[in-house]
Structure 1
Amino acid sequence: MFNRRAKGQHYEAAAEKHLSACGLVLIERNFHTKSGELDLIMRDGPTTVFVEVRYRNSQTYGHAAETVTHHKAQKLYKAANIWLMKQGKSIYSTDIRFDVVAIHRQGQQVEWIKNAITQG
């Protein structure tokens, strides 16, 4: 039905709609760096939230959130740090978190996992 990029944009829009309904405010979408891409950057009160959107048609081979590997998390940290530096902020002096929105069953199941990715 969709090519890979169109499918990604479709489910990122669904995630944005879900998070906006929960009170988050969009700052930016699809921020690209050499390190990687941040799907959504949102504000939750005073907190800047970097959101990784993951989609799986079924959970037969695992949950969509399980596809965020340690390597992917490291790329997200680097991209977030670059974004923050461009805003004149530091990753150490700004209230931030990394969330995952896992989507299954053609968007019928949306799960928001706060603070899903932690540095370690």
Structure 2
Amino acid sequence: MKFLGKKKPTSAAPTTRERGMAAEDQALVHLQAAGLRLAVRNYRTPGRGGGEIDLVMRDQDGTLVFVEVRSRASGAFGGAGASISAAKRQRIVFAARHYLLRQPAPPPCRFDVVLVQEGGIQWLKAAFDAQ
């Protein structure tokens, strides 16, 4: 079949999920370069209404780090960081508590956020707590 007029598109634009996975890949490389080790990627609680943790990492001192990765194309409207609502933090904490049920003795923990936007990465250690 021959196209007349417009060129045939070579590839579709990446989906939101594909952009999110690419941001997680960037964050993972960044955190591993800083000495953290991956424990689990995309940990989900079972059932409806649960939560998801993008990356569960282990810091060099043994701290278990629950990482939320947020990505935005630009800094408009508050950028990637502004997209982490109180409800989103609550779901992350819920998923972290569920994850910790599998641990024989819960280690020290923290909640980090990695922001990927405009070609840069910003790592916010202890960005929020479980309260």
TM-score (norm 1): 0.90
Which of 37, 41, 45 is the aligned partner of 1:29? 41
Q: Which amino acid aligns with 2:121?
A: V
Q: Encode CA deviations 1:13-67: one digit per residue, 9 max, x unaligned.
A: 1100000011111111001114111000001121000000000111121131121
Percent of paired sites with the same residue: 39
Alpha-carbon distance between aligned partners in 1 of 2:110 and 2:82, rounded to the nearest angstrom:
18
Where in structure 1 do 4 or more consecutive aligned residues deviate above 4 Å? none
Deviates most, 79-88 or 45-54 = 79-88
Number of the residue aligned with 2:100 = 84
Query: Unaligned 5+ residue runs, structure 2?
Result: 1-12
**Aligned pairs, how many?**
115
Query: Unaligned 5+ residue runs, structure 1?
Result: none
Q: Which amino acid aligns with 1:116?
A: A
| Structure with the higher helix share, 1 or 2 | 1
Shift of 1:81: 0.6
TM-score (norm 2): 0.83
Q: Secondary structure at the match of 1:14?
A: helix
Number of the residue aligned with 1:44 = 59
Is 1:116 aligned to residue 127 of structure 2? yes
| Structure with the higher strand share, 1 or 2 | 1
Number of the residue aligned with 1:58 = 74
